[in-house]
Amino acid sequence: MMIKPELAKKMIEQVRNEFAASLQYLATAIYFEQESMDNTATFFYAQAAEENEHGMKLLRYVVETGGTAELLAIPAPVAKIKSAEDAFQTSLKWELEVTGQINALMDMAKQQNDYLAENFLKWFVDEQLEEVTTMEKFLNLVRKMGDKNIYMLEQLIKGA
Ligand code: FEO
């Protein structure tokens, strides 16, 4: 079954967005590692790996459904992380943006009556709920802790 060119193009843009998110999370992980917050760094390294998987999943879908898959340049991480609160605030913002992008893909799949794409994208819709919720939770906790108690985060984020 052939994917429609317009949807393939949008999905390839999303591949770029997911890889860009991966770089953003890598930059965030490095920030925490340099702050000697190794558990928080591990959390963000894992997020970076997940975003990479998301990008690959979308890319594989486009290729397998016969779409054109010309890869786009990946922008460098935009934000210089200034604090733990900044890191989680920025991460939440990215996740909300990605949620909007996934919803737009879903809208297009529905308009095209592309049931296969709808079914495929459903996984991403669910994944976004989980990622937004996680980032909201940690942003909330970080705000409650404040700078003075920020090392408490190391215990709370372990295994998250
Ligand atoms: Fe792949 Fe966190 O969005």
Q: Is the pLDDT of residue 159 over 90?
A: no
What is residue 59's predicted lDDT score, i.e. its pLDDT?
A: 98
**Per-residue b/e over 36-67, b at no fewer than 16 CB within 10 Å?**
ebebbbbbbbebbebbbebbeebbebbeebeb
Residue 160 is predicted with a pLDDT of 84
| Per-residue pLDDT, 1 | 65
* pLDDT > 80? residue 104: yes
**What is the dotted CATH code of the domain comprising 5-68+80-158?**
1.20.1260.10
Q: Which residues line ligand 1 (CB under 6 A)?
A: 18, 21, 51, 54, 95, 98, 131
Distance 128 CA to ligand 1 centre (A): 6
Q: Which atom of ligand 1 is nearest to the CA of 124?
A: 1
**Residue 25: per-residue pLDDT:** 97
Please give the pLDDT value at position 147. Answer: 87
For residue 18, the ligand 1 atom closest to its alpha carbon is 1
Residues 6 or more apart from 19 whose CB is under 8 A from it?
51, 52, 55, 74
148 alpha carbon – ligand 1 mean position (Å): 30
Among candidate residues 83, 74, 91, 80, the one with its CA nearest the CA of residue 25: 91
